[in-house]
Amino acid sequence: MHTKTTFFRRLTRLLTGSLATLCLLAPGVRTVADALTLPEQLIGVTQGFLEFTVEDYLATTQTPGRYEIQVNPLDPRLRMPLCSQQLDASLESPSLPLGRVTVRVRCDSTAPWTVFVPATVRLFRDVVVVTRPLKRDNTVGEGDVALRERDVGTLGQGFLTELDQAVGMKMLRPTVIDQVLTPQHLEQAEVVRKGDQVVIIARSGSLSVRMPGEALSKGGLSEQIRVRNLNSKRVVKARVTGPGQVEVSM
């Protein structure tokens, strides 16, 4: 994302104008700062750029949450020539303004220079965590999970934002209390097992027909499984709608 912000344009104008005013008021006196871009100016430009970039990202993706930005200190001995142009800031890495980021601040004057400024962007969202230790093969109940605020930039394996995404699912691995649940922790809990006797419901509009069947594969709620119609001996694919019940379309 390569975005220029009104903030750092105004900041650059302000800093440049202030230095120019000092020179006019005291034409016979020139200090080192009159001809330099100082580290605190680069940090200010970076902060403003990241604020604009993160807010734009959240608005574009319609992502809820709050953010915090921390720009790393620069070497106080850093001295760059004063730029006659507006400083240009862009996101060097990564492609999204989350976690550890690097902002490239560039001067495009006749004597160009570039400084890479590291920073950290923390995005806090409500995610699903477990309220008690869960074991492998446990089915997640409503009381087993809750929403807690976490920095999602640190959740590299993913996360869930709705309790319904976890309730009723089966655990694939154990967890400890307050651990963030990820999609890798869960799979659809079995509602029908292979060999179960099931009721096959064939629907066509408001018309429905029931017939006995046998599950030839296991499946969770809403999953498609193979079943044998015990009347016709035909094997069909049906959607699991509940314990011992599947549905096909006529």
Q: What is the pLDDT of residues 27-61, one digit of tens each?
A: 444 454 558 899 999 999 999 999 999 999 999 99
Q: What is the pLDDT of residues 135-152, one digit of tens each?
A: 998 999 999 999 999 999
Could you tell me if 27 and 93 lie in one domain?
Answer: yes
On whether residue 225 sits in a domain, the answer given is yes
Distance CA 18, CA 162 (A): 51
Query: Does residue 178 or residue 243 have the better pLDDT?
Result: 178
Q: Give, for 43, the enclosing helix (H) or strand (E).
A: helix 39-61
On whether residue 241 sits in a domain, the answer given is yes
Task: Give the pLDDT mean for 185-205.
Answer: 89
Could you tell me if 112 and 131 lie in one domain?
Answer: no
Domain boundary among 188, 213, 237: 188
Distance CA 217, CA 194 (A): 4
Q: What is the pLDDT of residues 200-218, one digit of tens each?
A: 999 887 788 999 999 999 8
Could you tell me if 73 and 146 lie in one domain?
Answer: no
Could you tell me if 215 and 148 lie in one domain?
Answer: no
What residues pair up with 90 in beta bridges, in sequence order?
A: 104
Q: pLDDT-derived band of residue 24, with 50, 70 and 90 as boundaries?
A: very low
- The reported pLDDT for the residue numbered 7 is 45
Domain boundary among 100, 122, 144: 122
Domain boundary among 122, 146, 176: 122
Could you tell me if 84 and 159 lie in one domain?
Answer: no
Distance CA 128, CA 185 (A): 12
Could you tell me if 100 and 15 lie in one domain?
Answer: yes
Could you tell me if 151 and 73 lie in one domain?
Answer: no
Could you tell me if 66 and 160 lie in one domain?
Answer: no
Place of tokens 């001067």: 107
Cβ density class 166-179: b for 16+ within 10 Å, e for less = bebbbbeeebeeee
For residue 77, pLDDT beyond 50: yes
CATH code: domain of residue 175? 3.90.1210.10
Contact, 152 vs 183, CB < 8 A? no
Could you tell me if 34 and 95 lie in one domain?
Answer: yes
Domain interval for residue 229: 190-249
pTM beyond 0.85: the answer is: no
**What's the number of domains the chain is made of?**
3
Could you tell me if 196 and 182 lie in one domain?
Answer: no
On whether residue 1 sits in a domain, the answer given is no
On whether residue 159 sits in a domain, the answer given is yes
Could you tell me if 160 and 67 lie in one domain?
Answer: no
Distance CA 232, CA 211 (A): 10
Q: pLDDT-derived band of residue 12, with 50, 70 and 90 as boundaries?
A: very low
Give me the percent of the chain exceeding a pLDDT of 70: 86
Could you tell me if 112 and 21 lie in one domain?
Answer: yes
CATH code: domain of residue 235? 2.30.30.760
Distance CA 228, CA 221 (A): 18
On whether residue 69 sits in a domain, the answer given is yes
